[in-house]
Each structure stands twice: as structure tokens, then as C-alpha cells.
Amino acid sequence: MSFVYARRVKAIVVLSVMLVVACKESQPATPAGASGSQAAAGSGSSKSPVIVVPQPKGPTLPKSKGKLDKATVDKLATLTFESFTQDIRRQTEQGFEVKQKTKPRPHLTVTVTVTPCFDCIPMELDKWKAKGEALKMLLAPELKTRPDLKFEVGDTSVLGQKMIYTYQLAYFSGKDENNNPEFAYSDAYVLYYNDGINHIRVVAEYADDPVASAKAMEDIAPKELLERMAKAFMIAYVQAWA
């Protein structure tokens, strides 16, 4: 989700991130929509922190066996990843939400939300675009009217399955009533999918201290990096819910 800060900033994060796929033995051919064996963001410097993301367990995405239940939620809650700390936000038969946060800085997060379908929209771009402003629900109010707001709605493919995504990039800095610095910003790739039984949303985003501008934030966590993270975690959780 969007992050809003109202405090003095003593340091600015300027590192880029290097993303790799977890691999225990030999690396299989990368399925469409998954991260490659190694992909660098920003400068790709050897000094960039390395993030290891989940590796696909197979070439397809299984369909849910039934509505979300306790056994499935408990299974999803066991998923942990080498480069991430797990924070389970919700764990009930009606829903599951977990935030996975990178251990190295700059901090990026991947928030995964799973619920049973209720009037789930098919993976058809026109029907999702018809939702209009509702798709901007993860933007802070200060950002929704920014003239430089970048907001995209599109479709993509993950292991041959069509999914809907949004990408948002916006930045605001100002002063609060006490003349202290105040920031609102978002650099996030949001991936949506449902199989008519259960719905999953994956939000990959920049989640560290504010930097100087939207461009500086984008340089640290470009859309391509966030997209790869979102798709890797989408695959991991969908393959685990079968």
C-alpha cells in the first residue's frame, strides 16, 4: 500500500536491487512470466543487495480445489522465503494476508491477500478498466490528484494464465502544520488473479525511506523489478493453494 511519512529524514537510500531466483539444484528453464536466473535493477552493481525470490514448482497454475478453508490458509502461512521476513496480517477461513519484507535495504515488500471469490471479475481487461477509480484504492489521497501521477492498468501472462495488473508511481513532499517535512509516495506493481473460486492480490512495492523524487524512487525499484517480484510470489502462493 502507499506509505505516508511526516518526519525528518536523516538519510536517503540510493542503492539499487539485484533480483535472483531461488535454486536448490540445477536451474530449470524459466517459464513465461517468471523471473530469470538473474536480473538486475538500477545499475546492477555488484554492491547492490541481492534478493532471492521464489522459484516455480512447475509450469502451470493449478485451480483451487474449493473455497478458501482453514487447511489451505494454514498451508499458505507456512511459506517463508530466504530474503524476506514474514508478517502474517490475517489468518482466518475468510481470508489470508501476509507481508513479506526484504531483509536487505532498500526495503521492498510483497503483500499477498487471498480471499474466497465474491462477485469476482473475470480476467478481462475491459471489465477491470470499468472499475475506474476503485483501482487506485492503494494510493494515498495526497497522490491521487498529482499531475505527475503515473497509473497504468493492463493485462499480463503468468505461466500462460492471463492476469490484471496496475502500476503506480507518485511522489509528494511538503510541510505539515508544524513546518516539519511531510511525504506521501508510492512505487507499486499490483497483480490480480482469480479462478472463479478464490481471489488473490499481490502488491510489490518500494517500502523504505523517502528519497528526493519519484524518479529517484523509480531508479531504486523500477517497474520491471516489482513486476518480477509480484509474479514470482503470485506463482508461489497459487501453486500452494491447490
Tens of pLDDT, residue by residue over 191-225, are 999 999 999 999 999 999 999 999 999 999 999 99
C-alpha to C-alpha distance for 220 and 15, rounded to whole angstroms = 6
Instruction: Identify the band that residue 48 occupies on the pLDDT scale cut at 50, 70 and 90.
Output: low
- Contact by Cβ (8 Å): 97, 129: no
pLDDT digits over 90-103, tens only? 999 899 999 999 99
Domains in the chain (CATH in brackets) are 3-240 (3.40.1000)
Q: What is the C-alpha to C-alpha distance for residues 106 and 108, in angstroms, rounded to an integer?
A: 6
